[in-house]
Amino acid sequence: MRSDRFGRILPSAPPLYIDPQALEAIGAKNGPMQHSGAALKTQAVPVAHIFFGQFIDHDITLDVTSSFARLDRAEDTTNVRTPTLDLDCIYGDGPEGSPFLYYHQQPKYNGVKLLTGADMPSATPEQAEDLMRSPHGRAIIGDPRNDENRIVSQLQLGMIRFHNKVVDHFDAAGVSGGELFETAYRAVRWHYQWIVVNDFLKAVVGAPLLADILGHGRKIYRPEHCTFNAAYGGGPFIPVEFSVAAYRFGHSMIPQRIQIQPGKPALEVFGPTLGLGFSPLTDPDAVVNWKQVLDLSDPTVDHADQLDAKLAKDLLDLPFVGAGGVKSLAVRNLLRGQAFLLPSGESVAETCERTVAEIAAVSAKAKALAASAGHAGALDAGTPLWLYILIEAGEIGQEKSPGTFVKGEGLGPVGGRIVAETLIGLQELDPHSYLGSDRSWSPATAPLKSGGVTTLLDLMTY
């Protein structure tokens, strides 16, 4: 399996087929997956982590060829992104391959620092808080998807600013010339990778599962041992069980409204301030205050919604999908899983050695969901993997301490293992990552500030 293709964790698992009409009813607007009333919140997942998850996805996957209107073979589906957490969405092809992303008029930082809206001639206050843009308003960045909503756009800006500040740090330490960019690039990349594992994954999969994978190794995502992958050197690839199912868990955790500035009203995720992507920032109320969306020590900070089989109503009636298109994100996910011939959640859970009783509990909930949508018996053959992972999170829950599970707090045992093993494996199989080249490294070994940059909040406010 070449690294520019998707692949499968379970290549021999039989695909699940469900009546598409049942899938459409289960995920329909005003159907059984729509939140009703006030959404319940997680205890320890800040709302910005869900958008950081989107940012990570854009760093490692880009599928421009598949369609849920036909069968899609994972091995024939091109991944336009590299399956490594290398921040090509920030750096593009580097100063030589993507010079339009970098300074070119200041000799000291030529080809070293990245451009932002603050570098526009006579930048307005709003431009100074935005990405660099063309005269037509398009963001000049390594991946245009990181401008599709205001929060991920501000994350992109925060990562660029972090790089530029790290350049200042090493410049002050006497690093110069071509070495300055490479030194800063590695430091930014490794801090980002550390945060993905030790901040993001710890929050969404739980510390016990993370410790098990790091301590006892990966059990299901093992490209280096897959016979079908051996011809290509056993390198990393993106499994469709991850990209098409498990990593779409965040859709359940996105709130209907988010407060991004202290003392200001919460804003609609798909409203005019946050949701109209691919456009310049013109409203100062759209500038994200990172403490307000990441600092859980502040009781006013928004937490992510609980992870279960419920989605915010706007996600089941996407405003940017035109007439005749599939407007429900839930239906899109269910149909895409079927198009990629994904196995049932029960089949994957058995491979993960989950108990018969646990699997039966998730299956029973899924069958009841189908019955409430008017399709009793539709899931008797099995549960679509994405739906299984959401129900597992709501019914079994995240393991918060050994043997203790909290419902809705994050990914359950199956979803958590797929997500964590994939994101850890991509690093372990990358000789340029910290886990693939220097497992003794941590932010404390090369501190950028007192205490180190160890969390997403540290990085965004550095």
Overall average pLDDT of the 132-137 stretch: 96
Q: Are 346 and 329 in contact (CB under 8 A)?
A: no
Q: How far apart are CA 389 and CA 309, in angstroms?
A: 9
Q: Are 321 and 327 in contact (CB under 8 A)?
A: yes
Residue-averaged pLDDT of the chain? 94
Q: pLDDT grade, residue 215 (50/70/90)?
A: very high
What pLDDT is stored for residue 212 in this prediction? 98
Q: Is the pLDDT of residue 152 over 80?
A: yes
Angle at 430 between CA 429 and CA 434, to 5 degrees: 110
pLDDT digits (tens, 9 = 90+) for 256-315: 999 999 999 999 998 999 987 899 999 999 999 999 999 999 999 999 999 999 999 999
Q: How far apart are CA 55 and CA 154, in angstroms?
A: 11
Fold classified for 6-460: Myeloperoxidase, subunit C (1.10.640)
What pLDDT is stored for residue 174 in this prediction? 96
Instruction: Give SS3 for 405.
Output: strand
Type of residue numbered 147? D
Q: Which two tokens stand for residue 325?
A: 């298109």
Q: pLDDT grade, residue 320 (50/70/90)?
A: confident
Q: Which of the pair, 5 or 10, is modelled with greater confidence? A: 10
Instruction: Tell me the β-bridge partners of 406.
Output: 398
Instruction: Give SS3 for 403.
Output: coil
What pLDDT is stored for residue 68 in this prediction? 81
pLDDT digits (tens, 9 = 90+) for 101-129: 999 888 889 999 999 999 999 999 999 99
pLDDT digits (tens, 9 = 90+) for 444-460: 998 999 999 999 999 99
Per cent of the chain over pLDDT 70 is 97
Q: Is the pLDDT of residue 231 over 70?
A: no
Q: How far apart are CA 452 and CA 441, in angstroms?
A: 12
What pLDDT is stored for residue 389 in this prediction? 98
Q: pLDDT grade, residue 426 (50/70/90)?
A: very high
Instruction: Considering only the C-alpha atoms of the chain, give the largest distance between any 2 of them, rounded to a whole number of Å.
Output: 69
Non-local CB neighbours of 289 within 8 Å, separated by 6+ positions: 260, 261, 262
